[in-house]
Structure 1
């Protein structure tokens, strides 16, 4: 069931900027904010993102990365 969110005391400058962005994409302010809140909710929190990056294996060293890039780029011009 959809919920209602109400935000009070939004500065005029903030509202004007949101209205401008909404107009640029052909949306009303509520439609624009609905889209942006969906996008925001889909992103991981900082804690979740940090946890994911900690779990990545660090099997490759910076040297391995540089060697792979050199291999992709090919020989240096002489």
Structure 2
């Protein structure tokens, strides 16, 4: 069953920003907030994300990543000085 959420004491500039953004997308402020709330609820919390990523051992060493980045970037412009 759908629930109703009410947000009180929104600053005028915040509401104006929401109204502007909703208008740019051709939707109402409640539609914009419903979409954003759905997106937020679907994402893991920071604590959950940290638990998930901590369990995955990295198969790539940091030194390998840095070496590849250095190779892709090439020499620094002032490397010859």
TM-score by length of 2: 0.76
Which segments of 5 or more consecutive residues in structure 2 lack a partner in the other structure? 73-81
Residue correspondences, number: 72
List alignment gaps of at least 5 residues for structure 1: 74-78
| Cα distance in 2 for residues equivalent to 1:62 and 1:11 | 45
Distance 2:59 2:27 in 1: 46
Alignment of 1:42-53 (within 5 A): 42-53=42-53
Give how far 1:9 is off. 0.8
List per-residue Cα deviations over 1:3-55 (Å, max 9, x = no partner): 00011111101100000010010000011111110011111101011111211
Counterparts of 1:55 and 1:22, CA distance in 2: 39
> What CA distance in whole angstroms lies between the structure 1 residues aligned with 2:37 and 2:58?
34
State the shift of 1:58 in Å: 2.0
Task: Write out the 4+ residue segments of structure 1 that deviate beyond 4 Å after TM superposition.
Answer: none
CA distance in 1, matches of 2:43, 2:49: 9
1:76 is aligned to none
TM-score w.r.t. length of structure 1: 0.78
